Amino acid sequence: MEIVFQQTPGLTETPMRYCPGCGHGVVHRLVAEAYTELGMKEKTIGVAPVGCSVFADEYFNVDMIQGPHGRGPAIATGIKRCKPESLVFSYQGDGDLASIGMAETIHSAARSENITIIFINNAIYGMTGGQMAPTTLIGMKSTTSPHGRTVEANGYPIKMCELLAALDGPVYLERVSVDKPAAVVKAKRAIKRAFQYQIEKRGFTLVEILSQCPTDWGMMPLAALERVRKEMMPFFPLGIYKEPADSKAAVAEKE
Amino acid sequence: MGEKLFMKGNEALAEGAIRAGCRFFAGYPITPQNEVPEYMSWRLPEAGGTFIQAESEVSAINMLYGASATGTRTMTSSSSPGISLKQEGISYCASAELPIFFANVVRGGPGLGNIAPSQGDYFQSTRGGGHGDYRVIVMAPKSVAEMANFPRLCYEMAFKYRIPAMILADGILGQMMEPLEFDFEPIDPATFELPKWALRGSGGAERRRVNSYDLRPSYMEKWNFRLEAKYQEIAANEIRYEATQIEDADIVLAAYGTSARICESALMLGRREGLKIGLVRPITVWPFPTQIFKDLSKRVKKFLVVEMSLGQFVEDVQLSINGKAEIYLHKRPAGAIPTGEEVLEITKKILSGDQTKLHSKP
């Protein structure tokens, strides 16, 4: 009988503590499948952030390090420069990457560090209980914007792929989502491409994944998925923001 | 080894780290330590290492967190405000037991302060510095030769105990030029066996984890006690100090780093006049050489502490002597530098009974 789906050896058997309907579990699986299928599982070193995915070092079945809030790209830089043959990824949320860690994000991208960042954008601080994030949409309620985020009080949400695309350093930037099976397949393809470019020593790669947080959004899981589609995607358009010219042509030819 | 060199303190520190096997440096400009990253930027690549000018001190220390987790001998350096910024990262390294090496070329504070030499960061250095219960090994050089040779000792202790180790210097030690000799042959880190805990990719064997958290209170308590046991072992094995002419001393000067160097002048001048002055100079300020002060206080009844800060170092002397002798303090904070003559004058006042305890200002 043909096996069409199985648990990836890229993840440990530790049960995940993520809330029902959260996107982290799916993205963990995609990242783990990507490095496993590329034959890199035994050469991968991952960086876990502060936030809901602080426990990522329990789940990814590879060498892992957990570091201070926002500093994943600096930690990954230190590892990669000392172990250039490793596949190094930093897994980060929106508060971690776009707020407290903005300097590390921008500068590792500008240096074109040969690392991959997996960026979960769910527009909220999850672990601390639902505070406003740098990606919280205008009008969206959080525990620190209880009447909804306003431009007057809080300014605008930050579009990270668009921001980083203005730099010369990044070689591959793509925004995807995990709101339906077809999107999950696309997200995995993006993560795999990013890892592939790192293996080819091309430089900085980042995949932004729009994700849902039913718990802190105060929504049922299906309604949360609907919000990703109806509210997040118009403001954070999916797509490739940067890719190497030669592989763009190669991908086009293949398809 | 054997070769006589003439170097600036900051450059000697950088060269000493490289000869001791440093292969990764990340730093950010701040006066008076700029010669360290400048020297590293050309010399470290020559030695096969990596130099990164980070976007901030915060980023630099976290680059070390990652690099040292691979078992590499790493270094960062900064000066007071920059070291404050690194403290969260140093706390993570202490908890995750990563053997980083760093130097604080201390300047005047608090706040932006100035760029003059100071010893105002003594508490920060010897009490852990960042959040949580931890210590780092702190070596306090008094000369350019020691700036060059102490990095090796720091790396040896850091890797033996899996603990951050630092050099507590100041603007004088960083900026002045002196002759020096290395007391060790250059070390090639490629000859080291990679420590078991070092990240490298699982290679099909059991994976490794470097982290600093356990959300279960009873487990984190055990984690703290495990760290404490290590600190006790370090305190039992690694204390270093220098005692000069204490055998017949009526008064003992106590100072570290540049202040100790100045006290050596006072001692020499005083001895010429027939005054029985001794000197105890801690080389490790954590762990602190408590016992020598305790022992001396049974016989010597007067101690003069000299520090370029407002009474930080004196607290460790007080804790050691524990009321068994009189302690006087001469303090020159935030860029003021005492002279040997000045220290001798106060010493004479104390010996003649004119000096008030713990109160001496210029």
Structure tokens at A217: 């959004």
Q: Considering chain B, what percentage of its residues have pLDDT values greater than 70?
A: 98
pLDDT tier for residue A254 given thresholds of 50, 70 and 90:
low
Residues of chain B neighbouring A51 (CB-CB closer than 8 A): none
- At A249, the pLDDT band (50, 70, 90 cuts) reads low
Taking only the tens place, the pLDDT of each residue in B120-163 is: 999 999 999 999 999 999 999 999 999 999 999 999 999 999 99
Strands A44-48 and B177-180, sheet pairing: unpaired
Enumerate the residues of chain A whose CB falls inside 8 A of the CB of residue B65: 65, 67-68, 71, 74-75, 78
Contact B58 A67 (CB under 8 A): no
**B5-199+229-233 and B241-351 in the same fold:** yes
Determine, yes or no, domain membership for A1.
no
Residue A224 belongs to what domain range? 24-254
Q: Among 1.10.3720.10, 3.40.50.920, 2.40.40.20, 1.10.1610.10, what is the CATH number of B241-351?
A: 3.40.50.920
Distance CA B295, CA B277 (A): 17
Banded pLDDT at A152 (limits 50, 70, 90): very high
Banded pLDDT at A1 (limits 50, 70, 90):
confident
Task: List pLDDT tens digits, range B272-321.
Answer: 999 999 999 999 999 999 999 999 999 999 999 999 999 999 999 999 99
Report how far apart the first and last C-alpha atoms of chain A are (Å, whole number): 30
Q: Taking 70 as the threshold, does the pLDDT of residue B69 lie above it?
A: yes
Instruction: Tell which of B23, B24, B25, B55 to mutate to test the A interface (max A CBs under 10 Å).
Output: B55
Above 80 in pLDDT, residue A255? no
Distant-in-sequence, close-in-space partners of B107: CB < 8 Å, separation ≥ 6: B31, B32, B79, B80, B113, B114, B115, B116, B117, B118, B170, B171, B335
Residue A120 lies in a domain: yes
pLDDT surpasses 80 at B81: yes
Chain B interface includes A127 (CB < 8 A): no
Torsion of CA B176, B180, B184, B190, to 10 degrees: 50
Rounded Cα distance between B168 and B286, Å, is 10
Cα–Cα distance measured from residue A160 to residue B223, given in angstroms and rounded to the nearest whole number: 38
Confidence of residue A63 (pLDDT cuts 50, 70, 90): very high
Burial class (CB in 10 A: 0-12, 13-18, 19+), B67: buried
Answer whether B347's CB lies under 8 Å from B277's CB.
Answer: yes
Mean pLDDT, rounded, of chain A:
96
Res A86 pLDDT > 80: yes
| pLDDT score for B139 | 98
φ/ψ (deg, to 5) at A66 = -115, 130
Residue A114 has pLDDT above 60, yes or no: yes
User: pLDDT band at residue B2, thresholds of 50, 70 and 90?
Assistant: confident
Distance (Å, whole) CA A121 – CA A140: 14
Taking each helix axis as running N to C, give the angle between helix A102-110 and helix A72-82, from 0 to 180 degrees, rounded to the nearest 10: 40
Structure confidence at residue A26 as a pLDDT band (50, 70, 90): very high
Put simply, the answer to whether A74 touches B204 (Cβ < 8 Å) is no
What does pLDDT average to over chain B? Answer: 96
Which letter does DSSP use for residue B189 in this model?
G
* CA distances for B105 relative to A130, A231, B42, B266, angstroms: 42, 52, 21, 24
**Interchain pair A66, B211: CB under 8 A:** yes
Comparing alpha-carbon positions, the chain A residue that sits nearest to B202 is A42
ipTM topping 0.90: yes
Domain ranges of chain B: 5-199+229-233, 241-351
Supply the pLDDT for residue B359: 56
On the question of pLDDT at B361 being above 80, the answer is no
- Residues B13-58 pLDDT 10s: 999 999 999 999 999 999 999 999 999 999 999 999 999 999 999 9
Q: Burial letters for B302-338: b for 16+ Cβ neighbours within 10 Å, e otherwise? A: bbbbbbbbeebbbebbbebbeeebbbbbbbbbbbebb
Cβ neighbours around B42 below 10 Å, total: 9
Chain A residues inside the 8 Å CB shell of B199: 45, 63-65, 79, 83
Partners of residue B195 in chain A, C-beta under 8 Å: none
pLDDT tens digits, A177-222: 999 999 999 999 999 999 999 999 999 999 999 999 999 999 999 9
Q: What is the pTM of this model?
A: 0.96
Q: Do B200 and A63 lie within an 8 Å CB cutoff?
A: yes
Confidence at B354, pLDDT banded by 50, 70, 90: confident
Q: Is residue A72 part of a domain?
A: yes
pLDDT, tens digit, for every residue of B182-206? 999 999 999 999 999 999 999 988 9
Residue A177 in domain: yes
Residue A77 to residue B210, Cβ atoms within 8 A = no
Q: A112 near A171, Cβ under 8 Å?
A: yes
Q: Which residues of A touch B50 (CB under 8 A)?
A: 81-82
Residue of A79, A91, A80 whose CA lies nearest to A118: A91
| pLDDT reported for residue B305 | 97
- B341 phi, psi to nearest 5 deg: -65, -40
| Cβ contact, residue pair B201, A79, below 8 Å | no
Answer whether residue B220 shows pLDDT above 80. Answer: yes
Contact A76 B66 (CB under 8 A): yes
Question: What are B190's two structure tokens?
Answer: 């490629």
Determine whether the interchain pair A66/B24 forms a contact, defined as Cβ–Cβ distance below 8 Å: no
Interface test with B, best of A42, A63, A89, A92 (most B CBs within 10 A): A63
Picking from B25, B50, B70 by the largest number of A CB atoms within 10 A of its own CB, the best residue to mutate is B70
Cα–Cα dist A157/A163, whole Å: 12
DSSP label of B356: P
What residues of chain B lie within 8 A of the CB of A103, using their CB?
A: 55-56, 58-59
Chain A neighbors of B59, CB-CB under 8 A: 71, 74, 103-104, 107
Residues 75-104 of chain A with CB under 8 A from chain B are 75-83, 86-87, 103-104
Domain B5-199+229-233 sits in which CATH superfamily?
Answer: Thiamin diphosphate (ThDP)-binding fold, Pyr/PP domains (3.40.50.970)
Find the CB nearest A45 among B58, B62, B201. B201
pLDDT of B357 strictly over 80:
no
Determine, yes or no, domain membership for A199: yes
List CB contacts (< 8 A) between B95 and chain A.
none
B129-142 burial string, b = 16+ CB within 10 Å, else e?
Answer: bbeeebbbbbbbbb
Number of domains in chain A: 1
Query: Is pLDDT above 70 for B360?
Result: no
Among A13, A80, A83, A102, the strongest candidate for a mutation testing the B interface, having the largest count of B CBs within 10 A, is: A83
* pLDDT score, position A106: 98
What is d(CA B173, CA B169) in angstroms, rounded to the nearest whole number?
Answer: 6
Nearest residue of B to residue A9, measured between CA atoms: B204
For chain B, first and last CA: distance in Å? 42
Q: Closest chain A residue to B90 measured between Cα atoms?
A: A68
In B, minimum Cα distance to A44 occurs at B201
Q: Please state, in angstroms and as integers, the Cα–Cα distance from residue A40 to each residue in A85, A170, A173, B199, following that order.
A: 10, 22, 21, 15
Instruction: Examine the pLDDT at B229 and tell me if it is beyond 80.
Output: yes
Confidence (pLDDT) at B309: 97
CATH of the domain at A103: 3.40.50.970
